[in-house]
């Protein structure tokens, strides 16, 4: 991948291939040193299930936010909820929080080492914590952190 990036950056100039190969080897070594290969790997079927669930939730949440924006009768009760995230601290939790922030109406704002995530939402009376718990379980299965053997 690093060599492919080099070829793109140099517009495929063959005079730069030797330097590109050397740079790709060094970049690969440094990347493996800084971030070792993962011990878990994404599972295709759970990843597809999570993706479909995420898009469905995006549409539902988007429609809810749009209804609240255009109908003044629908109340807003903005605030924060505490979510006990089952995903351990690190890149996986960061990825989950980043994806959760893409859903309309919710925004993870703070996470601590104990697994608590503070989430801002448009209506604290909605089942935000329950939905995030379901999302987290699907995400863990998709990321390969949990096997679902039935």
Report domain extents, the chain. Answer: 2-34, 44-143
Q: Buried b vs exposed e over 32-62: b needs ≥16 C-beta within 10 Å?
A: eeeeeeeeeeebeebbeebeeebeebeeebe
Mean pLDDT of the chain: 88
Separation CA 98–CA 142 (nearest Å): 15
Q: What is the pLDDT of residues 36-81, one digit of tens each?
A: 777 777 788 999 999 999 999 999 999 988 888 888 787 788 999 9
Tokens of 26: 């060094």
Closest residue by Cα to residue 87 from 100, 74, 78, 102:
100
Q: What is the pLDDT of residues 15-40, one digit of tens each?
A: 989 999 999 999 999 988 887 777 77
Tell me the three-class secondary structure of the chain, residue by residue.
Answer: CHHHHHHHHCCCCHHHHHHHHHHHHHHHHHHHHHCCCCCCCCCHHHHHHHHHHHHHHHHHHHHHHHHHHHCCCCCCECEEEEEECCCCCCHHHHHHHHHHHCCCCEEEEEECCCCEEEEEECECCCCHHHHHHHHHHHHHHHHCCCCCCC
Residue pointed to by tokens 């979510």: 83
Q: pTM to 2 decimals?
A: 0.69
Question: Quick check: 146 pLDDT over 90?
Answer: no
């Amino acid at each position: 991948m690093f060599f492919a990036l080099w070829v793109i950056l140099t517009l495929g100039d063959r005079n730069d291939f030797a330097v590109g190969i050397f740079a790709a080897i060094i970049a690969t070594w440094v990347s493996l040193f800084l971030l070792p290969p993962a011990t878990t790997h994404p599972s295709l079927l759970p990843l597809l299930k999570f993706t479909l669930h995420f898009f469905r939730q995006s549409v539902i949440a988007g429609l809810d936010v749009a209804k609240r924006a255009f109908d003044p009768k629908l109340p807003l009760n903005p605030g924060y909820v505490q979510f006990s995230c089952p995903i351990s601290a690190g890149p996986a939790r960061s990825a989950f929080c980043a994806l959760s922030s893409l859903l309309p109406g919710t925004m993870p704002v703070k996470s601590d080492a104990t697994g608590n995530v503070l989430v801002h939402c448009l209506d604290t009376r909605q089942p935000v914590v329950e939905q995030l718990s379901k999302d987290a379980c699907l995400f863990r299965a998709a990321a390969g952190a949990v096997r679902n053997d039935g």
